[in-house]
């Protein structure tokens, strides 16, 4: 079940997804974190951030929409209060970072470059969330622009840890993915949530406090699968982590066949906090049934 995402070796390809498993041991009562390939923590800025006004979550057909607004305790506080517990639990940790400016990302990168000892060994990668508003570009997402994406990855690649650019389906995805890799990303996480909205027809206004939000869950599964497939076809040498709509072992198999080397389980965790482990067990069972010697043999096979 072992896999490789660029320079990162993992015992299996199943991780949590950022924003769905908290900062630390929130789900530890449901699973042994050391059994997962890695635990991806909620996105952190180099400062505390309040996020959007409530309500922040709402169900949609085959998924959910959220407008949490990247609320967070800040990277410095997380390093002191939460990372030690993850280290003690034996988790391999992927730190998700975000910012409003390129300087924010550079600051977060600098903070992570100072890790040492067990913490340095536990943090296997940094997931750079560029699917958030760029306050230097009239609020457009960084990932809407190849140039802005490149600037962010160039700033974060200096941390000395493997960097995965987390992108959404916006603009020319392959062009933006290529810009991220050229700027120093060692892999890609595809995809982030898709922009959406729900209207309260009685109140005649958006349901969520932040207006629109990000759609996730089974509803975006086919979109995520297509994004991974297209990017792998264009850049087969680039490691991809597939995320979006994965709730079973078969879902994970499909994502690997599309070109992902690993997968993340997110929204399914809200319905069943054991979902990541169940996906892992389902993937392993599928491989045993189909006599797959190594899970890496599945990567990209749908391309023929």
- Among the listed residues 281, 258, 278, 276, the one whose alpha carbon sits nearest the alpha carbon of residue 40: 276
Alpha-carbon separation of residue 156 from 15, 129, 184 (angstroms): 22, 11, 8
Give the CA diameter of the chain. 56
- CB-based burial of residue 138 (10 Å sphere; 0-12 exposed, 13-18 middle, 19+ buried)? exposed
- Among the listed residues 47, 139, 156, 160, the one whose alpha carbon sits nearest the alpha carbon of residue 102: 156
Q: Which residues are the active-site residues? A: 132
Do 152 and 142 meet the contact criterion of CB atoms below 8 Å apart?
yes
Q: Quick one: tokens of 112?
A: 């992570």
- Among the listed residues 230, 263, 271, 196, the one whose alpha carbon sits nearest the alpha carbon of residue 30: 271
- Among the listed residues 136, 134, 123, 68, the one whose alpha carbon sits nearest the alpha carbon of residue 96: 123
Do 131 and 192 meet the contact criterion of CB atoms below 8 Å apart?
yes
Using DSSP's 3-state secondary structure scheme, residue 293 falls into: coil
Half-sphere exposure (Cβ direction) of 113: Cα atoms closer than 13 Å: 12
Q: Quick one: tokens of 166?
A: 């987390």
């Amino acid at each position: 079940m072992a896999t490789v995402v660029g320079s990162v070796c993992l015992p299996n390809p199943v991780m949590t997804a950022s924003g769905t498993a908290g900062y630390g041991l929130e789900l530890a009562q449901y699973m042994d974190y050391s059994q997962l390939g890695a635990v991806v923590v909620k996105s952190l800025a180099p400062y505390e951030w309040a996020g959007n006004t409530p309500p922040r979550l709402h169900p949609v057909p085959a998924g959910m929409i959220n407008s949490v607004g990247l609320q967070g305790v800040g990277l410095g506080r997380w390093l002191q209060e939460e990372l030690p517990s993850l280290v003690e639990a034996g988790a391999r940790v992927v730190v998700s970072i975000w910012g409003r400016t390129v300087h924010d990302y550079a600051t977060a990168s600098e903070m992570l470059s100072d890790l040492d000892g067990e913490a340095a060994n536990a943090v296997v990668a940094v997931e750079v969330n560029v699917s958030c508003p760029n306050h230097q570009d009239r609020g457009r997402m960084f990932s809407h622009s190849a140039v802005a994406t490149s600037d962010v990855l160039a700033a974060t690649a200096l941390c000395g840890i493997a960097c995965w650019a987390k992108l959404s389906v916006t603009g020319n995805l392959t062009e933006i993915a290529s810009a991220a890799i050229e700027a120093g990303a060692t892999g890609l996480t595809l995809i982030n949530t898709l922009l959406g909205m729900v209207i309260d027809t009685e109140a005649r206004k958006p349901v969520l406090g932040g207006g629109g939000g990000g759609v996730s869950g089974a509803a975006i599964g086919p979109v995520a699968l297509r994004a991974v497939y297209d990017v792998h076809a264009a850049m087969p040498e680039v490691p991809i982590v597939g995320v979006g709509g994965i709730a079973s072992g078969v879902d994970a198999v499909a994502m690997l066949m599309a070109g992902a080397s690993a997968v993340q389980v997110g929204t399914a965790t809200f319905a069943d906090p054991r979902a990541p482990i169940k996906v892992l067990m389902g993937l392993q069972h599928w491989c045993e049934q189909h006599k797959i010697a190594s899970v890496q043999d599945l990567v990209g096979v749908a391309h023929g």
